Structure 1
């Protein structure tokens, strides 16, 4: 019998650590000056005052100047790695202006005549070079110019025949993201399907559910926690919308709406040393550390270490959450040889997590407060340990071989209550409560070769690769009847579980193997690109039941993409992709438990246009995805799941991002869905809308450098999710909702150190709304305050 680990009710250690971190600047830490560090910049051309403000903010220095001296002046921008002095020199070339450093470490803009100096004689001459790195930040710095496409390599968004968004570390940090969904939900086609503080993360991309198990880590599946990923170790989040089977292989949970790849932090050329103190309402305090260094004659060796500890009460009534994480990333870049190794461990211990409900009511009740604990007495504990390594070798200038392997053990222990909403008054019937303890062991591998050559003026990039994921799931599941009723607005505590707890035992095994062959062809000076490829996939599933069940199926999934660039800043694209997904198993709590569903095929058609206007990129896309559907039916309080019929989701996506005006960064998007069912059993729901998919979603995010105080920036995000049907039967509708988040950050110098203060208010107006996922509803998070102070030294 196992017991959940308990922890102190008052996180004294964490509070002391927070106070120490906030006091560090005042204590006067001694560290390397920011001015001498050579950092990477990618700031587009534009008005001189706006570009200078952007550069000073990213460099972490204070800059003062009279707007009259920069009025109507332009600058060519900045791209490459520079010290502060070099950066100012490049931006001010030919302007007759100088940036002069004050005694307090800040800079003042003045004319060369005022200093009695010649600008070209005083400051170093620096050559401006265009950055060829597709992962470099785009205007505004919140997203990158491009990212990885798995076996297809790394490419700019404008050269990609797919819908992709690549969020940078700045985009992650500026919203104080604590989970992947806090970032990727900036896109209207992406939504969180669990409120913060739930039992685990899950998402919806283009109308299709995606579990945390389908998130890749440095290109490998099976390496991410099944509950939530510690985002403190993540440098970049790459999102591909639509089936990503050819590019990444098959996800273990079978998601087809999109693919998410997490890129771990790496040491930069310049040293990284930061400590961040955090606060989350109601009283959770935390501390984060981030250290990175490079070594060797040519700085070929690198190490990046991240650590996190947080403890205290969250915004959910009676909830206490303890989190800890440690990670290390090693890498070697010897020119032709590149190697990396990542390892992390994470632990979470929570009392009272955010629940989910099924509904038998014919009228949707009002959503209760996001602060109300609807299942008083739940517990959750999770532990993850993972290690992954990757090696690349350039055999010659045309041929590269690569290989990667990873191993991950995920364990979780939690309460498993089940309740149904009975009527519009919010009465609930808590049918059962018990334990669901799980252990998932994953081994993942990826190998291949990439060749680059020309034939008759046509550039080719040919890739041949194979990958494998072996995942075994052990669990212990047992429930008992509670016999209690409760209410959403006046919940009753769960009675104690009296059944004995057992150890997880083997239940199922899934083995996914595939082989891929692709060719990317480039014509007419890269104005026409064609991508074609095939991936042969095999899905093997096995259950360790008294009467074992097996399924073994293979299929070939093609992809075809085309990009046409009639002019440099305009891309017209189209693609066809297909995917084979695991059919999966019914849940242990279903009336038909552990039933194996056969693998199923999905396919997508997409066409769109992308335009890069210099500081702003706009995109529009039309898509259609078809997939086999699952139906959950509640019979006498028991859920039965079947796989019948198909879902067809059509959509229109509109998006724009970048730097709209000087100092005003933004992202805006809207998605319109038309989701229908067909070929259902006996035509019962043919032509009806697919449940849990909203009619439309909208997003608007703004980040603005306040002109009245150097170093101050304000931000807001407005999220609108449309109404949706609760189920495929289309008899009960879940209302839509709008949420507003606001925030601010201020960069200052204290005791010689650069300090970044951040403050965010999530769900500013404390809006109560339902979050929808696959036949269940959950409550939203209430108004939440997130504060931090980051000291870079």
Structure 2
């Protein structure tokens, strides 16, 4: 994350927004530099959001404040970021799944998406969380070529309320769109700590320049989960139909206590060398890590499973620029998952899945000329295949072979003509499952992965004050439940205008933006889950530079 640092010129920017059916937002961005040489900087950002979104009877509240303090001189740079955010959402749930046992029987197709403005909440259905972050970065020059650095930080997030259908969604049980499943109420507390110490320097060997970095790092992570999570009907159920609405049955809201669910530690050492020679640049890097993951019984506090791992992960890349317009590149990277801890929504919550590597390869080129930048990349990614497995009405997270993503991505952006700008992208993705148990799902599409995605943005600037922007986005069909069903493709459009003016000599930017212009109803596949689209949403804003 790159924090917003104080700008050279003083900045006081106030922004008001209105969106949906009655959601009002206020945002303040204040930036100042102090000292003889403006060596000290302070930047504060605040957020206050409250009201009804474009979804019927869906209320959202958010409050946040972030402060960034930095100091710089000839030999050092220091940055401290602190922040807090609180979020409360009442109703408006959009996550659904299909009853696995009913597929091919009561469910023969993905039901048509209902009206996106429908609210599937009921009294008490809510999600509330709060969290804070602290991050410190420091660089200290030792001489003209070498410096040492320190990066450290922590963040904490508490999910105070989370009342939703069991497995975190509502279950559709037939082609008519009927819904029936139990409710779940839980809390989680997540804490992360990180520290890194290293040195960086430049070494010249003749015409070759080396940029070398050596670093030691360590991270800690812990999760507290609900001791008495209710998800077996003991706090009620939900029923109804996606087209006519849902209702809660015999709903009551228990008091939740949390207990330690998991702890993990990670420590490693990395060495990287960026080699530059004339028109070529080579990156050589390696990271050695050790990790330990402990899963706990939340009630007794005892360790139930411990998984240790270590790995050597290389990274290398090559860039060649034959001329000022063209860049050719190739890269390989590896990173290691120390072992996924199964979340509370699964029947095997707390289990630690096997550690696994993710490997990524990419080759491509970039060409810039006449105000246009064109990029073409071909990639291959392999990672663990962590999938949802249904046993009766219970859902388990299990590791089954690997997922392989192969694709090609093209992007173009630049100036079409005087006053006209264009940005577009097209991606083809072939995502398959390999090495699955007994070869059952070998060659089948990764659940929720669409083969085609595209975006096109056109901007018109008739003068310096006025601009009009239009955007079209396409998402192709996606297979779910191991190719038993398929979500339809969809296209959405956004349209917006910006106008720069002044009120009593105060510069003001007025913006009107309409998302999902045609009010398209559609499903987005996420694994085997179905996420209902957001309805047409109008957002108005006024930004004042005081």
Could you tell me the TM-score, scaled by structure 2's length?
A: 0.94
Could you give the per-residue CA deviations for residues 520-565 of structure 1, whole angstroms, max 9, x where no partner exists? 10112xx111111101122221111255201110101001111111
Distance in 1 separating the partners of 2:387 and 2:154: 34
Distance in 1 separating the partners of 2:542 and 2:47: 14
Other-structure match for 1:454: 204
Other-structure match for 1:755: 508
Could you give the per-residue CA deviations for residues 710-754 of structure 1, whole angstroms, max 9, x where no partner exists? 511111111101111113x21100111111011001001221111
Q: Where do 1:236-251 residues align within 5 Å?
A: none
Q: Quick check: 754-763 or 664-673, which moved more?
A: 664-673
Other-structure match for 1:548: 304
Other-structure match for 1:348: 87
- The alpha carbon displacement at 1:510 in A equals 2.0
Distance in 2 separating the partners of 1:291 and 1:388: 20
Distance in 1 separating the partners of 2:419 and 2:18: 28
Alignment CA distance shift 1:440-1:483 (3 Å): closer
Distance in 1 separating the partners of 2:423 and 2:270: 35
- The alpha carbon displacement at 1:453 in A equals 1.6
SS of 1:335's equivalent in the other structure is coil
SS of 2:438's equivalent in the other structure is helix
Other-structure match for 2:281: 529
**Of residues 348, 362, 378 in structure 1, which corresponds to 2:108?**
362
Q: Quick check: 628-637 or 301-310, which moved more?
A: 628-637
Aligned length in residues: 526
Other-structure match for 2:465: 711
Larger strand percent: 2
Alignment CA distance shift 1:662-1:449 (3 Å): farther
Distance in 2 separating the partners of 1:669 and 1:472: 39
Other-structure match for 2:434: 678
Could you give the per-residue CA deviations for residues 168-226 of structure 1, whole angstroms, max 9, x where no partner exists? xxxxxxxxxxxxxxxxxxxxxxxxxxxxxxxxxxxxxxxxxxxxxxxxx2xxxxxxxxx
SS of 1:264's equivalent in the other structure is coil
Contact 2:17 2:542 in 1 (8 A): yes
- The alpha carbon displacement at 1:614 in A equals 4.9
- The alpha carbon displacement at 1:267 in A equals 0.9
Distance in 2 separating the partners of 1:266 and 1:614: 33
Residue 217 of structure 2 corresponds to residue 467 of structure 1: yes
For structure 1, the 5+ residue unaligned runs are 1-216, 218-262
Distance in 1 separating the partners of 2:372 and 2:265: 43
SS of 1:604's equivalent in the other structure is strand
Other-structure match for 2:60: 321
Larger helix percent: 1
Other-structure match for 1:744: 497
Contact 1:354 1:778 in 2 (8 A): no
- The alpha carbon displacement at 1:571 in A equals 0.5
Q: Where do 1:591-606 residues align within 5 Å?
A: 591-606=347-362
Distance in 2 separating the partners of 1:405 and 1:658: 39
Residue 193 of structure 2 corresponds to residue 443 of structure 1: yes
Contact 2:190 2:222 in 1 (8 A): yes
Other-structure match for 2:337: 581
Q: Quick check: 597-606 or 493-502, which moved more?
A: 493-502
Could you give the per-residue CA deviations for residues 663-714 of structure 1, whole angstroms, max 9, x where no partner exists? 333321110011122211011011111111101100111222124xx51111
Other-structure match for 2:136: 389
Other-structure match for 1:643: 399
**Of residues 421, 439, 454 in structure 1, which corresponds to 2:172?**
421
Distance in 1 separating the partners of 2:225 and 2:90: 21
Distance in 2 separating the partners of 1:375 and 1:335: 57
- The alpha carbon displacement at 1:625 in A equals 0.7
- The alpha carbon displacement at 1:446 in A equals 2.1
Residue 370 of structure 2 corresponds to residue 619 of structure 1: no
Other-structure match for 1:271: 10
Distance in 2 separating the partners of 1:754 and 1:665: 24
SS of 2:246's equivalent in the other structure is coil
Q: Where do 1:324-343 residues align within 5 Å?
A: 324-343=63-82
For structure 2, the 5+ residue unaligned runs are 100-106
Distance in 1 separating the partners of 2:50 and 2:10: 29
- The alpha carbon displacement at 1:657 in A equals 2.0
Q: Where do 1:9-20 residues align within 5 Å?
A: none
Other-structure match for 1:245: none
Could you give the per-residue CA deviations for residues 6-59 of structure 1, whole angstroms, max 9, x where no partner exists? xxxxxxxxxxxxxxxxxxxxxxxxxxxxxxxxxxxxxxxxxxxxxxxxxxxxxx
Other-structure match for 2:104: none
RMSD: 1.5
Distance in 2 separating the partners of 1:394 and 1:435: 52
Q: Where do 1:146-225 residues align within 5 Å?
A: 217=1
Contact 2:365 2:377 in 1 (8 A): yes
SS of 2:245's equivalent in the other structure is coil
**Of residues 258, 261, 264 in structure 2, which corresponds to 1:507?**
261
Distance in 1 separating the partners of 2:381 and 2:214: 27
Distance in 1 separating the partners of 2:309 and 2:518: 50
Distance in 2 separating the partners of 1:435 and 1:484: 13
Distance in 1 separating the partners of 2:14 and 2:380: 46
Distance in 1 separating the partners of 2:258 and 2:421: 49
Which structure is higher in RCO with an 8 Å CA cutoff and minimum separation 6?
A: 1
Could you tell me the TM-score, scaled by structure 1's length?
A: 0.65
Contact 1:438 1:474 in 2 (8 A): yes
Distance in 2 separating the partners of 1:506 and 1:724: 38
Contact 2:309 2:338 in 1 (8 A): no
SS of 2:247's equivalent in the other structure is coil
**Of residues 290, 293, 296 in structure 2, which corresponds to 1:538?**
290
Residue 235 of structure 2 corresponds to residue 490 of structure 1: no
Q: Quick check: 481-490 or 433-442, which moved more?
A: 481-490
